[in-house]
Every structure is written in C-alpha cells, then in structure tokens.
C-alpha cells in the first residue's frame, strides 16, 4: 500500500504546489464558518445540499481550490475514518487546526480508513494523501496506523499462509525493524523444555507448534510482558466445530496479532520499558495423535488439567506461556486472546472485555481507552465460579459444561497461572462484522491503543 500520510517535503517532491487546503470542522462550528465564506462557496454548498462529510470547493476556473470536512466531534479518533475515501485522489493539508492531538487523531483515522488488504487482490486505484507539516505528529500517526495495519494483515491472512512458522516469521520481521531478539521452542522441544499444554494442543498438525519469545529494550527498565493466543486455525479438535463456526477460525490467532501490533507501537515509540512478547503458536487440528476429551495433562506449572472439551484449547496454550511469563517477575502482564463466545454475548463483538487482578488499573485502562476511542470494558473475576472448574480426576478442568459465565470461568482458569503478578486478560473478537468509519470488515486491532495509552501515561517521559 502506498503511503497516505506524507511530510511536507515528500509532498512537494511529487508535484510542487499541488496540495489542496482542507478545512476540518465540527458540526457546531459549520454555520459560523459558512457565513464567512464567499457567496460563490455558499451557493455551491447549498446546491450540493451539504451539511456533513467531505466536499471539494471549486475555484473560478473549475479546479479544486480547497475542501471542507464536517464531523460530529473531533474527540472521536474515528471521526475522519472515511475522509480519505470521500475525497478524490490528491494531496490535502489541514490549514485551520494546529493542535497536535487533534491532528494526530485525524491523521490516524485517515490512515486506518485507507487500509486495504491487498495480499491476494491487486488494487492500484490511487488514494487521497494527507500532508502533515509537524514531523512528530506524522511519526506518531504513522506508527499507530502501521501497528493497526500489521494486526489487521496478520488476522486477514488465510490460515494456509499463517501457520505457526509464518507467525514466527512475522514476529522476526517486526523484531528486525527495532533490534529485538526472537527465540523459539519448536515441536518436541516443547516437551523437553516443559511446555506440555502447548505441545498437546498443536501436536496433531503437520505444522509444528512453538513458543515464540521476543525481547526488546533495556533489561534494567520496567518489565512488561505481553502474551498472545496464536491458534492459527481452530478446528475444535476432536470436539469438532460445525462448519459455520469454523469459517472464520483463521482469526483465532487474533490475540497474537494484537500483541504484535502493541509491541510495534511500544518499540516504534521507544517506550522506556523492557518488553517481552510470548506467543504460543499452534494449529488445533484433528489427527490420530490429537489430544482427547477426558485426557489429563500436567501443565508447566505442575497443575493437572482434565480436558473437558478440546475446543477450549486457547486457555491451554496460554497457561504454559503465562507460567513462563511470571518467572521474569514483570511489573504487569497483558494477555490477549480470541477466547470465548460468551464475552461476545455479554458485550457484543465491538467492545473488548477484560479481566484483571488490579482494580485501580482497570479504571485507568477504561479511561485511557475512552480518550483514544479504543473502548474496553472490565468484567468480574467472580471467585465463587472457581468451583465450576473442579475435576474429579485432576486439579482442575479446562472448561465447564454449562453455557453460563463462560468468559469468567476462562479468565479464572488463566488467573491460576499468574499467581500474584499484576495481570490483565483481554477477551477480544479481533474482527469487524460490519463496516464502520475507519474500520473495514475483517481483522481488527482491539484494545491495543488503550493499553499503549495506559503504558505511555505510566512510563512515558
């Protein structure tokens, strides 16, 4: 995809003096602005029946002299999400806004709104480009846009091209940009190095399961660990999903995509932390050696788990990764997973739910998420529901038979493996079922800008 956010120098090097002035307004300010425009502009906008959205304004010779965009509120980071599509190809520069935060929000929306998944379908139609004179705003916007694009691209890629080895290659590609290191534990080495649940879930696939481990930053800085569910395709295992439920299971590595997008943001913005990213990457396939309902697996922590359902595999691969994450004694662990349908029933597909053992952190996260239009919502770690995870033959079971409280019981299962470490678990859809401004149908980054805003507020200079 060609760049849609440009510096002034980049713009002038293409076609000098070709940038179109763009006025961006909130609806409440439109009438006052219109009153101060020439009669020809007022007549033109009246003829176009214009009151919101984007509109080119003609010069005397009929060329595009300028453009205007009117939205409800610039506090919404997606207010300008459709702007790049509403304007014809060309270069535009906002001339009536100088506030850096407002420009950042508009530039972010412009960039993510211009997103196209072009890996399998060519599209050479030129796009509108936004010119930014402030290099700091340009970099911050480009970093945010690129993090979202990375996340979307990884999720949108079909499973045949996004198996554990491909996910590892994507991790290495991101790491190389920022001087991070990546190590992997692959195949039967998962057993010899004591990651039995990751191995159990992934062993039936011809694509070897693995634990991907990225590290970046000063080891003396505050330690932050991200853990992402990397189930590259989920058939359900021997508890096979029906075809309708399997159709979008290429997105079941959406948790891994979220943490890689968040890691991109952290590293590109040089946040002063020591970052670790752990991705248990597997395919939950069906074969003669697939793990079975009723099997008992001893986890890395030493806890024995009875398999109630092989389609509750995400928490199995995460529990070994979380046990490893705790060994570094990080200040906080964030895990992301496309874990339960129950969370989607509770909150819908567009609002990510999260659980945490830190009450103050929960409020801060929701506040930061609202500021950057990346809302997240806390759900309860209701302790009495732990009884539902009891097993007659093992220390616990991996899922409960009833349909109620499924997101909570899944989170309680994961909490067992983090001990007292500050921890946040995100249960996300990672997919847009409908098109919204700046958010096309398909893979989506959910919650990562909220977490980054929280981390930036906590650790940033």
**Domain-by-domain residue ranges, the chain?**
5-133, 147-459
Residues 94 and 80 sit within 8 Å (Cβ to Cβ): no
> In this predicted structure, what is the pLDDT of residue 461?
65
3-state secondary structure of 105: helix
d(CA 96, CA 92): 12
Phi, psi for residue 395 in degrees, rounded to 5: -65, -35
At 268-327, the pLDDT tens digits run 999 999 999 999 999 999 999 999 999 999 999 999 999 999 999 999 999 999 999 999
| Catalytic residue of the set 116, 139, 241, 458 | 241
Give the residue carrying structure tokens 């994450």: 325
Do the strands 210-216 and 274-284 form a parallel or antiparallel pair, or are they unpaired? antiparallel
User: Residue 166: its pLDDT value, please?
Assistant: 98
Assigned token pair, 124:
């050479």
d(CA 340, CA 369): 22
CA 385 to chain centroid, in Å, comes to 29
| pLDDT higher than 70, residue 153 | yes
pLDDT, residue 144, reads 97
Kindly give, in sequence order, each residue whose CB lies less than 8 Å from that of residue 248, ignoring residues fewer than 6 positions away: 431
26 in helix, strand or coil? strand
Give the Cα-Cα-Cα angle 348, 352, 354 (nearest 5 degrees).
125
Spatial separation of the C-alpha atoms in residues 418 and 449, rounded to whole Å:
24
What does the pLDDT read at residue 16? 55
Kindly state the tokens that stand for 342. Answer: 């129950």
What is the residue-averaged pLDDT of the chain? 95
Q: Is residue 276 within 8 Å of residue 194, measured between CB atoms?
A: no
Concerning whether 27 is annotated as a catalytic residue, the answer is: no
pLDDT tens sequence across 384-439: 999 999 999 999 999 998 889 999 999 999 999 999 999 999 999 999 999 999 99
Instruction: Collect all residues with Cβ–Cβ distance below 8 Å to 428 and sequence separation of at least 6.
Output: 254, 255, 258, 336, 337, 338, 352, 353, 446, 447
CATH classification number, 5-133, choose in 3.90.600.10, 1.10.3720.10, 3.40.220.10, 3.30.450.40: 3.40.220.10
| Number of residues that this document lists for the chain | 461
Against a cut of 0.75, is the pTM above it? yes
DSSP, collapsed to helix, strand or coil, labels residue 85 as helix
Token look-up 């800085």 returns 221
Cβ atoms of 273 and 328 closer than 8 Å? no
Residue 14's pLDDT band (cuts 50, 70, 90): low
Q: Which residues pair with 274 in a beta bridge?
A: 223
- Of 10, 1, 22, 6, the C-alpha closest to 125 is 1
Secondary structure of residue 45 in the 3-state scheme: helix
pLDDT at 9: 81
Taken in order 221, 222, 223, 227, the sign of the CA dihedral is: negative
- Minimal CA–CA distance to 266: which of 454, 96, 59, 91? 454
Q: Is 261 exposed, middle or buried (0-12, 13-18, 19+ CB in 10 A)?
A: buried
Question: Tens of pLDDT along 25-65?
Answer: 999 999 999 999 999 899 999 999 999 999 999 887 666 68
Q: Are 83 and 129 in contact (CB under 8 A)?
A: no
Q: Are 67 and 55 in contact (CB under 8 A)?
A: yes
b vs e for 21-36, b when ≥16 Cβ sit within 10 Å of the residue's Cβ?
ebbbbeeeebeeebee
Topology, domain 147-459: Aminopeptidase (3.40.630)
CA angle 175, 179, 183 (to 5 degrees): 55
Q: Is 344 a catalytic residue?
A: no
CA distance 383 to 379: 12
65 vs 378, more confident: 378
Residue % of the chain over a pLDDT of 90: 92
pLDDT digits over 208-249, tens only? 999 999 999 999 999 999 999 999 999 999 999 999 999 999
Region of 294 (left: φ > 0; alpha: ψ -120 to 50; beta: rest) is left
pLDDT tens track for 229-238: 999 999 999 9
Per DSSP, 61 falls in state: T
Q: What is the pLDDT at residue 251?
A: 98
Q: State the pLDDT at residue 17.
A: 63
At 160-198, the pLDDT tens digits run: 999 999 999 999 999 999 999 999 999 999 999 999 999
Instruction: State residue 176's pLDDT score.
Output: 98
What b-and-e string marks burial along 163-176, b requiring 16 or more CB atoms within 10 Å of the CB?
Answer: bbebbbebbeebbe
Residue 2 has pLDDT above 70, yes or no: no
Identified catalytic residue from 315, 344, 439, 449: 315
Give burial (CB, 10 Å; 0-12/13-18/19+) of 225: buried
């Amino acid at each position: 995809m060609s760049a849609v956010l440009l510096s002034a120098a980049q713009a002038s090097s293409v076609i000098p003096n070709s940038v179109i002035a763009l006025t961006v307004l909130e609806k409440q300010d439109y009438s006052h602005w219109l009153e101060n425009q020439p009669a020809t502009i007022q007549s033109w906008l009246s003829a176009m029946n214009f009151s919101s959205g984007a509109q080119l304004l003609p010069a005397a010779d009929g060329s595009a002299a300028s453009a205007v965009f009117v939205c409800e509120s610039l506090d919404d980071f997606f207010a300008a999400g459709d702007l790049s599509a509403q304007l014809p190809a060309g270069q535009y520069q906002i001339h009536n806004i100088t506030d850096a935060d407002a420009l950042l929000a508009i530039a972010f929306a412009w960039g993510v709104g211009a997103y196209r998944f072009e890996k399998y379908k060519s599209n050479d139609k030129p796009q509108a480009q936004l010119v930014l004179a402030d290099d700091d705003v340009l970099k911050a916007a480009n970093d945010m846009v690129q993090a979202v694009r990375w996340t979307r691209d990884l999720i949108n890629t079909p499973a045949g091209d996004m198996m554990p080895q491909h996910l590892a290659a994507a991790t290495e590609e991101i790491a190389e940009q920022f001087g991070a290191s990546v190590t992997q534990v692959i195949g039967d080495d998962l057993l010899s190095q004591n990651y039995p649940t990751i191995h159990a879930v992934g062993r039936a696939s011809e694509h070897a399961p693995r634990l991907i481990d990225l590290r970046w930053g000063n080891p003396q800085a505050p330690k932050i660990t991200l853990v992402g569910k990397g189930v590259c395709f989920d058939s359900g295992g021997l508890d096979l999903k029906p075809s309708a439920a399997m159709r979008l299971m290429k997105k079941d590595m959406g948790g891994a995509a979220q943490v890689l997008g968040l890691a991109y943001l952290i590293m590109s913005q040089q946040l002063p932390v020591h970052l670790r990213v752990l991705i248990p990457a597997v395919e939950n396939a069906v074969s003669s050696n697939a793990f079975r309902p009723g099997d008992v697996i001893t986890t890395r922590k030493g806890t024995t788990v009875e398999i109630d359902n092989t389609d509750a595999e995400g928490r199995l691969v995460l529990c070994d990764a979380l046990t490893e994450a705790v060994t570094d004694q990080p200040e906080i662990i964030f895990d992301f997973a496309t874990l339960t349908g129950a969370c989607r029933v509770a909150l819908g597909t567009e609002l990510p739910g999260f659980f945490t053992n830190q009450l103050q952190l929960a409020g801060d996260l929701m506040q930061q998420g609202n500021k950057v239009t990346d809302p997240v919502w806390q759900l309860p770690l209701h302790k009495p529901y732990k009884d539902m995870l009891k097993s007659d033959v093992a220390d616990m079971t991996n899922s409960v038979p009833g349909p109620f409280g499924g997101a909570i019981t899944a989170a309680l299962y994961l909490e067992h493996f983090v001990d007292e470490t500050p921890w946040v678990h995100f249960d996300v859809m990672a997919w847009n079922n409908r098109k919204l401004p700046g958010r096309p149908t398909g893979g989506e980054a959910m919650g990562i800008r909220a977490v980054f805003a929280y981390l930036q507020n906590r650790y940033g200079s």
